[in-house]
Amino acid sequence: MKKIFMIFVLAFATAVLALGQTVQVTGTVTSQEDGLSLPGVSVTVKGTTIGTLTDAGGRYSLSVPQGMNTLVFSFIGMKTQEVPIEGRTRIDIILVPDLVGLDEVVVTAMGVSREKKSLGYAVQDISSDEISRSGNTNFAVALQGKVAGLDITPTSGMPGASSSIIIRGARSFEGNNQPLYVVDGQPIVGGGGGGSTTGGSDGTGRVLDLNPADIESINVLKGQAASALYGIRASNGVIVITTKSGTRNEKGAPRISFNTINTFDEVSRTPDYQTTYSQGSSGRYSPRSSQSWGTKIENLPDDPTYGGNSKGYPGKYKVPQLVDAGYDEADTWVTPAVYNNWDEYFKTGFTTQNNILLSQAVDKGNYAIGFGETTQDGIALNTGLQRWNAKANASREFGEHWKSGFHVNYAQVEVDKLSIANDGSLAGILAAPPTYNLKGIPYNFPGDPYKQIYYRSLTFDNPYWVAENNTSYERTDRLFGNTFLEYLTKLGESLNLNVRGQIGIDTYTQASETIWGLGHKGTDPANSYVGESQYRFTNTNAIGTANLNWRVTGNQTASLLLGAEYNDNKSKNVSASGTGLNFGEWQHVNNTATPSKSESKGWSRSVGFFGQVNWDYKALVFLGATGRYDIVSTMPSANRGFFYPSFSASFVPTSLNIFANSNWLSFAKIRASYAEVGQAGSFYEPYYSAVTGYSNGWYATNSISIPYNGASAYGPGSTLYDENLVPQNTRSYELGIDLSFFNNRIGLEYTYSKQNVKDQIFSVPLAGSTGASELVTNAGRLSTDVNELVVNIVPVEAGAFRWDMHFNFMKMVNVVEELAEGVESIFLGGFVTPQVRASVGNTYPVIYGSSFARDDNGNILVVDDPSSPYHGMPQTGAPGIIGEVTPDFILGANNTFSYKNISLSSSFEWKQGGSMYSGDNGLMMYTYAVVTQTENREETFVYDGYKPDGTPNDIVRGGPNDPGAYQTLFDNVLGDIDEAFIFDNSFIKLRDVSLKYTIPNRILNKATIGASVFARNILIWTALPNLDPESSNGAGNAMGGFNRFSLPQTTSYGFGLDITF
């Protein structure tokens, strides 16, 4: 108080001294929105070039020449006010936010708030309501359909399932394509997870640690120009998240808000199972077969071996598994029936989320403390998620110049998962024969829980046995947060300096447990496994910035930002595992016959220096430039440092007087930008590695573990590193136009961007005959063309009723222009065949595998050889590209109808095109014959193809005299051709619908209550048969295009309640 008094005295004295020529006017500017003082507000004397900016406390002091009567207060995001002086020397002003859409303020790189209309590149923001209203526990999934240019692919509907978020296509063949996450000014780990495409279980992405309820707003920096200040880690775009902090509260008493969301989950789609044919092969019932090529179900009692008609059990057939289960002889004979093992297995999942937030804003500061709890019970047995979130933040001003504060977030996430692909926990659910009562028949021998009873060979486990004996568990404890100190001062009449230092850590420990219980894959104890691993990761990040704002003249403002960033990552993984449980009850590493261990450490650091200059003229022309120099430890010592520039410009013709009174055109902007950002690679000296075991590509567990009879083994590292490695470089151009018509009733934002990535760093696969397997080097180019369109329409606004439509459209073409010399495609994931690859001349990524043999015209060739069992059937051709994963376009459509306190929202997403290797569909249709596509086995058929002589195929197969033809075609021929498993992945989904009612506080005396009901993923139209297309293996660069025994998606219904007082 004393200081402020002194300032007043000084100001008054100055004013007195200046008497005669000028009048000194002082005052404070605050924001109506949050009641806080506003620094950096431009205060000018109307009709002159005299002016100043408010200081850190929102204070200003200005010498006004006599005869001048009006002050103009302007600030981005606020309505400009002209205030008559009327002889006053103290004028305090409250600025009102300018709610006209395009004048909104967005948080850009390094926490700099800027007016959206001044930006030369596209950004898009999403409010907390859009994320929270449909009750998603994973914020990544909640973003689907909400932002143009984002392709978000969840892997499944299991609790905690990973998802891939790709902004404007991929930039790296093998590396990270996920965006950088910046929470409350601090870059944190957000991506990761996904796991293998071929086995094991999905790993959660670290974005799961964020509690959607804590998020106040999200801003997506899509292009490289927008994210350039963050340097090498931001080449994939940045998702800037601001958490709830109390700054938006009215000053005064603390506010408590509580919300609860309860959701019921069900499996989204049931395959159309056939109900005619029994388990077996070659038209014969076989009770241990994995397939359903058996006899007709109605004929089972006639089976010579298992039929009861000839064995004294008329109308029944024998199920040997019931003998295994110890049933009395009479009870092992059952009446043929059809079971839907899928529907019987999945249950209704339930999710509950509870959050409480205490926040307060006071004169000089604000704080918020929150807790959140999420408990999810999955649709599959033994799956679930438990998450605890706690957060606290506070900031306060100290004296005239200083401000300090902190943000801290803690998350604890526990997930129980199931395994996929070759370890598919649910393989037996997906492909169970319709005649086998999987749920009803016990899953282990009586008295021996470690000896499974199953309908098929134990290369897969019985899913009900899995629930009791196998574990795939993951627990993450994460802490991230930062503390900052800000110094604000005026360096002159119209020059403000803001220096900010911030230091933060992001650290987590992840403990994973994988157990294959005794009895896994049969009775050999060596198949059982216990694995425990601990992964510790610590990121230390410090950012310092100095920000200079300068009102050059009344028409021009400029700003300069200089800064530096220190980023250090350390990780360590230790694991202990063992195979061969000595006895089943104690699932512990110490109870394994062959224990093993491993250790892996990592350390990397980058230091960056950056700067940004912005200049604008009359709100008409905006120019900006940035530069960043990064020094990265993971590169060869000669090539560690590199510089990246970016430039952006925008022109706002509606700021010209001729548009001032335009009725139809409210706003127009043309923008352009150019940016370069890189990604660093990794470099190591040639090395040897210790061998831990040998499995030669066939075995699930090693056939030899090291030490072998006391001997160790080492081999030269088969990955070579190029010592001349340079960072890969993304050059991107972006052009855009923003238009707004009829008082912002219609808004359009169109952006075209082109990225050229050259000097890709990736592991160039070496010919095996070189001895080594890969060379990490610069090679190859990737280009991306993206068209994005955001359309906002308010078709109806009548009284209290308002209809908002919001469309996000993206068309992206992401082409691999070049790989290394002689390299046509590189492996990204998958089996021996098929695989996910990047391939020259194709979009990224592609599915690679065995194809149909075709003639020169591209027609499918059939065998024309009456002596061949494949007569009239297609053949396997050479392996090649059999599908491109990238969709043709993605359209998100969001509608909101609001009337007074009621609002109804919906969001659709339409993904058109793109292929998927649907292993599940292929297996169900061809190999296992369990779906309706295999139900017609009696009619003759002519396979759609051409004979070698060029004529259309007319060879008739099937029918009563050729009973094995369908199985030969489906199982032996098509089942071996990966291309037959490629499906169109187009879909339209009603992602969510929600209805929300808010009881206003005037009724409930200061308390606000909101109630909502919602549903997610309820309507699906898809080209993919039998399954929900958003179910795949490995989130990373497979991008949802690869599936084999993935876990299914869910449909959800729920309700929520918010109370704030």
- In angstroms, the CA 457 to CA 281 distance is 14
Minimum gap (Å) between residue 640 Cβ and another protein: 6
- In angstroms, the CA 799 to CA 973 distance is 66
Q: Which of 13, 17, 96, 593 binds another protein (CB under 8 A)?
A: 593
Spell out, one character per residue from 470 to 499, where the chain touches another protein: x when CB under 8 A holds, - when not. -----------------x-x---------x
Q: Does 878 bind another protein (CB under 8 A)?
A: yes
Minimum gap (Å) between residue 443 Cβ and another protein: 15
Rank residues 511 and 631 by Cβ distance to another protein and give the closer one: 631
Helix, strand, coil in percent for the chain, rounding step 5: 15, 50, 35
Spell out, one character per residue from 91 to 120, where the chain touches another protein: x when CB under 8 A holds, - when not. ------------------------------
Rank residues 686 and 950 by Cβ distance to another protein and give the closer one: 686
- In angstroms, the CA 846 to CA 17 distance is 77
Q: Which of residues 237-296 bind another protein (CB under 8 A)?
A: 280-282, 284, 286, 288-291
Kindly give, in sequence order, each residue whose CB lies less than 8 Å from that of residue 623, ignoring residues fewer than 6 positions away.
120, 614, 615, 616, 647, 648, 649
Q: Does 768 bind another protein (CB under 8 A)?
A: yes
Q: Is 823 left (phi over 0), alpha (psi -120 to 50) or beta?
A: beta
Rank residues 809 and 852 by Cβ distance to another protein and give the closer one: 852
Kindly give, in sequence order, each residue whose CB lies less than 8 Å from that of residue 20, ignoring residues fewer than 6 positions away.
none
Q: Which of 633, 756, 895, 933 binds another protein (CB under 8 A)?
A: 633
Minimum gap (Å) between residue 603 Cβ and another protein: 5
Q: Does 521 bind another protein (CB under 8 A)?
A: yes
Q: Does 653 bind another protein (CB under 8 A)?
A: no
Rank residues 150 and 543 by Cβ distance to another protein and give the closer one: 543
Rank residues 99 and 638 by Cβ distance to another protein and give the closer one: 638
Rank residues 633 and 1060 by Cβ distance to another protein and give the closer one: 633
Rank residues 459 and 743 by Cβ distance to another protein and give the closer one: 459
Q: Does 586 bind another protein (CB under 8 A)?
A: no
Rank residues 558 and 766 by Cβ distance to another protein and give the closer one: 766
Residues in the chain: 1061
Rank residues 185 and 608 by Cβ distance to another protein and give the closer one: 608
Q: Which of 691, 735, 791, 942 binds another protein (CB under 8 A)?
A: 691
Contact between 238 and 227 under an 8 Å Cβ cutoff? The reply is: yes
- Bridge partners of 627, per DSSP, are 611, 645
SS3 (DSSP) at 715 = strand
Q: Which of 404, 507, 575, 702 binds another protein (CB under 8 A)?
A: 702
CB atoms inside a 10 Å sphere around CB 49: 13
Minimum gap (Å) between residue 738 Cβ and another protein: 38
Q: Does 686 bind another protein (CB under 8 A)?
A: yes
Q: Which of residues 309-348 bind another protein (CB under 8 A)?
A: 320
Token look-up 């509907």 returns: 157
Token pair for residue 940? 């003759």
Choose the binding region for another protein from 104-112, 237-245, 550-558, 697-705 (rule: CB under 8 A). Answer: 697-705
Q: Is 668 left (phi over 0), alpha (psi -120 to 50) or beta?
A: beta
Strand duo 349-362 + 255-267: pairing: antiparallel
SS3 (DSSP) at 400 = coil
Half-sphere exposure of 961 (CA within 13 A, CB side): 2
Query: Could you tell me which of 82, 199, 369, 136 has the C-alpha nearest to residue 1050?
Result: 136
Minimum gap (Å) between residue 1015 Cβ and another protein: 41
Token pair for residue 723? 């010592």
Q: Which of 398, 583, 694, 899 binds another protein (CB under 8 A)?
A: 694
Contact between 172 and 762 under an 8 Å Cβ cutoff? The reply is: yes
Choose the binding region for another protein from 151-159, 460-468, 564-572, 911-919 (rule: CB under 8 A). Answer: 564-572
- In angstroms, the CA 250 to CA 362 distance is 8
Q: Does 882 bind another protein (CB under 8 A)?
A: no
Rank residues 471 and 839 by Cβ distance to another protein and give the closer one: 839
Give strand ranges (E) for 831-885.
835-839, 846-852, 876-884
Query: Could you tell me which of 920, 1031, 888, 789 has the C-alpha nearest to residue 153?
Result: 1031
Q: Does 895 bind another protein (CB under 8 A)?
A: no
Strand duo 238-243 + 180-183: pairing: parallel
- In angstroms, the CA 952 to CA 156 distance is 42
Q: Which of 657, 698, 856, 858 binds another protein (CB under 8 A)?
A: 698
Rank residues 288 and 597 by Cβ distance to another protein and give the closer one: 288
End-to-end alpha carbon distance in the chain: 31
Minimum gap (Å) between residue 929 Cβ and another protein: 11
Q: Is 24 left (phi over 0), alpha (psi -120 to 50) or beta?
A: beta
Rank residues 646 and 763 by Cβ distance to another protein and give the closer one: 763
Q: Which of 80, 348, 534, 689 binds another protein (CB under 8 A)?
A: 689
Rank residues 356 and 955 by Cβ distance to another protein and give the closer one: 955
Minimum gap (Å) between residue 624 Cβ and another protein: 24
SS3 (DSSP) at 392 = strand
Q: Which of 734, 971, 992, 1058 binds another protein (CB under 8 A)?
A: 971
> What DSSP letter does each residue of 238-255 carry, written as one string?
EEEEEE--STTSPBSS-E
Q: Which of residues 158-187 bind another protein (CB under 8 A)?
A: none
Contact between 120 and 669 under an 8 Å Cβ cutoff? The reply is: no
Minimum gap (Å) between residue 525 Cβ and another protein: 7
Kindly give, in sequence order, each residue whose CB lies less than 8 Å from that of residue 303, ignoring residues fewer than 6 positions away.
284, 285, 295, 317
Minimum gap (Å) between residue 542 Cβ and another protein: 9
Rank residues 643 and 708 by Cβ distance to another protein and give the closer one: 708
Q: Which of residues 705-744 bind another protein (CB under 8 A)?
A: 705, 708-718, 720
Minimum gap (Å) between residue 170 Cβ and another protein: 21
- In angstroms, the CA 972 to CA 965 distance is 10
Choose the binding region for another protein from 243-251, 470-478, 626-634, 792-800 (rule: CB under 8 A). Answer: 626-634
- Bridge partners of 892, per DSSP, are 808, 909
Biggest alpha carbon distance in the chain? 123
Kindly give, in sequence order, each residue whose CB lies less than 8 Å from that of residue 482, ignoring residues fewer than 6 positions away.
184, 185, 186, 406, 407, 502, 503, 504, 505, 541
Choose the binding region for another protein from 178-186, 628-636, 891-899, 936-944 (rule: CB under 8 A). Answer: 628-636
Token pair for residue 233? 């880690």
Minimum gap (Å) between residue 82 Cβ and another protein: 34
Q: Does 546 bind another protein (CB under 8 A)?
A: yes
Token pair for residue 830? 């998958």
CA 44 vs CA 49, 60, 73, 552, 625: distances in Å: 7, 11, 7, 12, 27
Q: Which of residues 397-456 bind another protein (CB under 8 A)?
A: 456
Q: Which of residues 596-615 bind another protein (CB under 8 A)?
A: 599-607, 609
Q: Which of 4, 656, 767, 796 binds another protein (CB under 8 A)?
A: 767
Q: Which of residues 792-851 bind another protein (CB under 8 A)?
A: 821-825, 832-833, 850
Rank residues 127 and 833 by Cβ distance to another protein and give the closer one: 833
Size of the site for another protein (CB under 8 A): 115
Contact between 635 and 604 under an 8 Å Cβ cutoff? The reply is: no
What letter does residue 231 receive in the DSSP assignment? G
Q: Does 525 bind another protein (CB under 8 A)?
A: yes
- Bridge partners of 390, per DSSP, are 371, 410
Choose the binding region for another protein from 100-108, 114-122, 185-193, 860-868 (rule: CB under 8 A). Answer: 860-868
Q: Does 856 bind another protein (CB under 8 A)?
A: no
